Structure 1
Amino acid sequence: MPSLRPSRLLLRSCRCLLLALGALAAAAPAWGQLGLPGVPQLPGGLGGQLPSRLEDGGLRSRLRERVLDMTELPRQVASLDQLRLATIRDLLARHPAQLEADPRGFPIVRREILAWSPSAAGLAAATAAGLDVASRQDMPEVGQTLVVLRVPDGVATAAALDALRAADPEGVYDFNHVYTGAEGGAGAAPASGAGAATGGAVGGTAGDVRIGLVDSGVDARHEVFADARIVRWGCDGAAVPAPHGTAVAALMVGKSARFSGAAPGARLFAADIYCDQPAGGSASRIVQALAWLAREQVGVINISLVGPANRTLGSTVAALVARGHLLVAAVGNDGPNAPPLYPASYPGVVGVSAVDPKRRPLPEAARGPQVMFAAPGSQMAAAAIGSPPYKMVRGTSFAAPLVAALLAPELPAPAPSQAARALATLSAGAVAAGDGTGRGVVGENLRVPPSSFR
């Protein structure tokens, strides 16, 4: 066999490198979206370090984008599906005392069932089955009551749920599903010194624009929030900063000499539903956070979280949509053939996908009728906890906050007619980009490229 020339050897080596990087790049977005506890961040997702030299970072970024373009979608989608299953199994294995799996394999809070304004008959059936009322919260803003029922030992959670649904067919009962997407949500240690800050407003910049955020904690000590006003909810008033919540918040309201979010100066109402707890991100916490935002009359709310359909969460979302809120949610990074994820797929929710600088949907982004808009979601920077203070982010989680920030000035408070006008206004300015982008691409000028940190 004739020997290969040096140039052909180099070409073959490069192809091998591309394939290796392709495997990492295909997996990276799912890690960044899921943000499951203790999972190491691969290049390309949340946590991709910005280079000190533009040339190095530009080459790496272009190489990752090129690799994703070259990767066959069926193989990539299979990897994403397997990755989600693996990370969920890891989450369940490391927190068996707090979490278990529902019959479909989705993580739920162990031995908890959610009841949405249960009837007297439903509560009687729960008592007869040995279930205890763990908590009850009235939500006058949406005219409902959230009841958390505790399943006794020796009774399977799924069996108890089936019995309740049979005894009260008109009731709304479901598992307390755990939703992912917040980097470092449950079980991840916060940055050094995190938690030293207290709840309440941070900074003093006033503004008429109000935006809601349901995510993990925000590091308000970061320089991009120096002049921001942040109103906190959750964690008993303590601050528990996390990378995902900090990055998403910065993309909405952050501002520094090197960085600008989509709506700097807007007032951010940030609900931390994780609080560094194993059962963080539960449906019950999301529902409570949404009730708080409804009480505060926040018109536009960003939710960069993904998970299964849940009757209690779906009922809450429907109630807020009916009140005239705009809920903006990431559609997820499980690939174009993945089943719909929620809350983005609920009726009335503004589902957001992510595109690259050429307006191409990211290969890992979900597709389907739940996509209403697309926004920048790669080759962009956001605030990070620790050093360096800015990192590259990628995924639909980071496209959604841009859309939320664009809608917020048009909807200062919930109102159905004004919400419709806000969507119509944004749609009118969207750039048609074909399949996978819904009504079109918006916010292209809001991408902060790595070159800003040269």
Structure 2
Amino acid sequence: MQVRELLRREARRVELDPRGEPVLRGEFLAMGLEATARDAVLAAGFKVVRAADEGEALGIRIVVLRDTRRRDAGRAMQALRAAAPGAEFAYQHLYLPAGPAVPARAASPSAPPPMLRVGLVDGGVAASAVRGMRVERLGCDAREIAEPHGTAVAARLAAGARGTLYAADLWCGDRVGRATLGLVEALGWMARERVPVVNVSLVGPDNPVLARAVRAMVERGHVIVAAVGNDGPAAPPLYPAAYAGVVGVSAVDAKLRVLPEAGSGPQVDFSAPGVVGARMRGTSFAAPVVARAAALLMREPSPQLARDVQRALAARAKDLGAPGRDARYGEGLIAAD
């Protein structure tokens, strides 16, 4: 539904790749594009828009290309790979929220609030929903452009805590948003700020540029927690949740039954409550429960500590479904505190 609506409203800016995934029309990313390959790409009808600095913090050199011949996404990609087979090319995929949302209210804790230092890559966050947290912003010139999904996820993540929320806004009020490069930039910002745990309640396809950024984060000891998506148990895995080292989260209802629309497979590491009231439902709202639990155990990124935290979460999880780890619940339930 999200993709169809996006295509209907933004057909000039958005198209589908050969697998039916939404991408920015006519724009591509390149890694390992040396001088000879660049000349070949130019001769094939592409122009270099810019050398992107979004991946610099993670050690990734990216070039943004545009197709001057206005080919469809698949044919343009074929032309790029034929012109420069030694380079690596990617679409500018769009990553969409893993669940609808309504604006959320700040939690009112009854116990002394814990301290958190945690990151969020999503839409804009209303500061009023995370009272007690200082909000550091990336995007939109650091302005608050609140959006329901980002605000609802942030409220689940903060849940009355104090500390700092690093919030990267990929949309800034625009329906299309920043696509792959925006997500990479957000992860690079989290790396520079040494944010130990980052929640990503967004889903999309595998992308080599995003894969490299995620791998760099995991190797540096950051914990990335991501929603597995709401395309159903038979759907192919969604990313970034399905990348190695990412903590993928499914969702359960109030009776601890996995949501029928939740993704399933080896990418599911944990499950958490994903139904909030009558209008918030999905893995988007389960992921921040697990991210919060991890952030309470980490103050700085560390490869060893990241492994320890994931083991601690597995030991704490309540086994649901088939005994032991399974494709629907993962290691089990992490309850909201």
Higher-helix-fraction structure: 1
Whole-Å separation in 2 of the counterparts to 1:408 and 1:302:
10
2:232 match: 335
Whole-Å separation in 1 of the counterparts to 2:235 and 2:76:
30
1:359-390 per-residue CA deviation (whole Å, 9 max, x = no partner) reads 22111111110000001112x35xxxxxxxxx
Q: 1:210 aligns with which of 97, 117, 126?
A: 117
2:245 is the counterpart of 1:348 = yes
- Do 1:411 and 1:418's aligned partners in 2 also have CA atoms closer than 8 Å? yes
Q: 2:30 aligns with which of 112, 115, 118?
A: 115
Deviation at 1:392, TM superposition (A): 4.4
Equivalent residues in 2 for 1:314-325 (5 A)?
314-325=211-222
Deviation at 1:90, TM superposition (A): 2.8
Unaligned runs of 5+ in 1: 1-83, 192-205, 256-263, 382-390, 447-454
Counterpart residue identity of residue 164, structure 1: L
1:397 match: 284
- Do 2:99 and 2:280's aligned partners in 1 also have CA atoms closer than 8 Å? no
2:334 is the counterpart of 1:437 = no
Counterpart residue identity of residue 309, structure 2: A
1:5 match: none
Q: 1:143 aligns with which of 26, 35, 59?
A: 59
Counterpart residue identity of residue 157, structure 2: M
User: 2:238 aligns to what SS in structure 1?
Assistant: coil
2:313 is the counterpart of 1:426 = yes
TM-score computed with the length of structure 2 as normaliser: 0.89
Q: 2:181 aligns with which of 284, 291, 311?
A: 284
- Do 1:233 and 1:270's aligned partners in 2 also have CA atoms closer than 8 Å? yes
Whole-Å separation in 1 of the counterparts to 2:296 and 2:235:
33
- Do 1:331 and 1:396's aligned partners in 2 also have CA atoms closer than 8 Å? yes
Higher-strand-fraction structure: 2
1:407 match: 294
Whole-Å separation in 1 of the counterparts to 2:221 and 2:329:
24
Counterpart residue identity of residue 219, structure 2: A
Larger radius of gyration: 1
**Structure 1 pair 412/339, CA: closer, same or farther in 2 (3 Å)?**
same
User: 2:295 aligns to what SS in structure 1?
Assistant: helix
Deviation at 1:350, TM superposition (A): 0.4
User: 1:209 aligns to what SS in structure 2?
Assistant: strand
Deviation at 1:118, TM superposition (A): 2.7
2:12 is the counterpart of 1:97 = yes
2:142 is the counterpart of 1:245 = no
Deviation at 1:445, TM superposition (A): 4.1
**Structure 1 pair 150/376, CA: closer, same or farther in 2 (3 Å)?**
same
User: 1:144 aligns to what SS in structure 2?
Assistant: coil
User: 1:437 aligns to what SS in structure 2?
Assistant: coil
Whole-Å separation in 2 of the counterparts to 1:341 and 1:100:
19
- Do 2:99 and 2:282's aligned partners in 1 also have CA atoms closer than 8 Å? no
Deviation at 1:216, TM superposition (A): 0.3
Deviation at 1:330, TM superposition (A): 0.3
Whole-Å separation in 1 of the counterparts to 2:143 and 2:76:
35
1:275 match: 172
Deviation at 1:209, TM superposition (A): 3.0
User: How many residue pairs were aligned?
Assistant: 322
- Do 1:130 and 1:151's aligned partners in 2 also have CA atoms closer than 8 Å? yes
Deviation at 1:413, TM superposition (A): 2.1
1:88 match: 3
User: 2:296 aligns to what SS in structure 1?
Assistant: helix
1:73 match: none
Counterpart residue identity of residue 179, structure 1: Y
1:63-106 per-residue CA deviation (whole Å, 9 max, x = no partner) reads xxxxxxxxxxxxxxxxxxxxx4xx42332122111111111221
User: 2:331 aligns to what SS in structure 1?
Assistant: coil
2:269 is the counterpart of 1:364 = no
1:167-195 per-residue CA deviation (whole Å, 9 max, x = no partner) reads 3334221110111117789xxxx99xxxx
**Structure 1 pair 183/98, CA: closer, same or farther in 2 (3 Å)?**
farther
Counterpart residue identity of residue 47, structure 2: D
Unaligned runs of 5+ in 2: 104-112
Whole-Å separation in 1 of the counterparts to 2:287 and 2:120:
11
User: 2:203 aligns to what SS in structure 1?
Assistant: coil
Equivalent residues in 2 for 1:18-37 (5 A)?
none
Counterpart residue identity of residue 287, structure 2: A
- Do 1:184 and 1:242's aligned partners in 2 also have CA atoms closer than 8 Å? no
Q: Percent identity?
A: 46
Whole-Å separation in 2 of the counterparts to 1:100 and 1:298:
34
Equivalent residues in 2 for 1:217-236 (5 A)?
217-220=124-127, 222=128, 224-236=129-141
**Structure 1 pair 414/170, CA: closer, same or farther in 2 (3 Å)?**
farther
CA RMSD of aligned residues (A): 2.3
User: 2:269 aligns to what SS in structure 1?
Assistant: strand
